[in-house]
């Protein structure tokens, strides 16, 4: 779970940096949306694994 928190923190820092340097919104979306999708899938997998361990 700590990996997920680190990834979210890195994503927030990256997003703030990108907005600070004022790159275009289209480029920001192209970069950020896939990263968010990957992070959400990773988080979902971790949640699923922890629930599976609890039911054993």
CB environment 24-51: b (16+ within 10 A), e (fewer): eeeeeeeeeeeeeeeeeeebeeeeeeee
pLDDT tens digits, 1-56: 667 778 888 888 887 777 777 667 777 778 778 888 888 888 888 888 888 888 77
Distances (CA, A) of 50 to 5, 35, 53: 16, 23, 5
Q: Quick one: pLDDT at residue 15?
A: 77
């Amino acid at each position: 779970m700590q990996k997920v928190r680190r990834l979210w923190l890195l994503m927030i820092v990256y997003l703030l940096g990108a907005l600070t340097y004022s790159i275009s919104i289209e480029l920001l979306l192209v970069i950020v949306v896939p990263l968010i999708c990957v992070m959400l899938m990773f988080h979902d997998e971790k949640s699923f694994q922890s629930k599976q361990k609890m039911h054993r």
